[in-house]
Structure 1
């Protein structure tokens, strides 16, 4: 359990942020309040408190931020799963590990406060990344600090401190951090898609959300 929801019992909504969702064309995604009202309005209308989805999704929402358009080929493929829930929702470690690194990636459209944990999985290193947290989540952390399965490690942050997104957790698994600390690409280009997917396995390995 990463958030305080049982996805086999509690209702949830799979959110679509691709070109297949015509609703996005009528929304000013650069206005985070408008974007937030859209996301949580959909959750409310469907009678749920959490939205999910995104792994390997070809998204249009990254056009809102220069952060994803700094190279000749823009980044548009999402490498984690997003869990859209209200700010302050607690985040729990999915398995034992240690704090690898953390930092506040404070740019519009970026992760905001971010934590990376290091685990052993099948006798190999595995890293889990938690993005869009609140700033108090980073207080008191130190590299190498042990964490236990089910331990609260953070809280989902509000905008703008969460990178200026509607409140949600970006959860990503990584087998090779490529030298990064406190940060790692959560979105890649179409050209790099297969390469990044090979080192960023599907987070539903731990989440076990039906239908993803």
Structure 2
């Protein structure tokens, strides 16, 4: 299936928005958040500090009378400069985000937007990494694809089992705090993946400019499902 056909397929799964957070939260309570390197207001914030970044995001959500801030797909960010995990190869700095982030409080429940089975899970403990992560496998007609949920709580993966079945709308976990989620303000990293390339419990959520075209094809915009 070509990337463009797969995008059309995702759009047409549901005319209504699909949700990974509480379905009672209306679209009007989601506000877009720009964390790109070019965002002027963010240039005055020390994004290497999870505490200062959290203060900025929390205040932003309150000012907008929202409940959740979202964004980040195909966004170039400076936040990853703080971790060698993204900068081990100087000529291939990974700083382009290829999922969507949903910023809200720790312990916020997370739900599967579609019927699913658990493909894999893992606590990715590198500094700046996902922390506890779940990957779900979906099959609709003959099409298989995956969704990744990063920055969860430890409890989210404690009793999980590979091939465990979740029905659409069932809770799969909850958001973790800065202690376990890679030292970020609490949020969900949600990503769609066509081909997992052999990964288990992990898949790159940030890439470099050299590989960007591949990852944009392999990981289409999650908003095709969320419709925020």
Partner of 1:143: 162
Q: Distance in 2 between matches of 1:31 and 1:61?
A: 9
Indicate the RMSD between aligned Cα atoms, in angstroms: 1.4
Partner of 2:148: 129
Q: Aligned runs of 1:1-212 on 2, under 5 Å?
A: 1-5=19-23, 8-71=26-89, 72-209=91-228
Structure 1: gaps of 5 or more residues: none
Deviation at 1:7? 6.3
Deviation at 1:206? 1.4
Instruction: For residues 112-165 of structure 1, give each alpha carbon's deviation from its aligned partner in whole angstroms, at most 9, with x where no partner exists.
Output: 000000011351210000000010000210111111100000101111211110
Q: Distance in 2 between matches of 1:41 and 1:115?
A: 29
Structure 2: gaps of 5 or more residues: 1-18
Instruction: For residues 57-102 of structure 1, give each alpha carbon's deviation from its aligned partner in whole angstroms, at most 9, with x where no partner exists.
Output: 1222222222211112101111111000111111000111100000
TM-score by length of 1: 0.94
**Is the CA contact (8 Å cut-off) linking 2:48 and 2:79 kept in structure 1?**
no
Q: Distance in 1 between matches of 2:48 and 2:79?
A: 9
TM-score by length of 2: 0.87
Could you say what secondary structure the match of 1:170 adopts?
A: strand
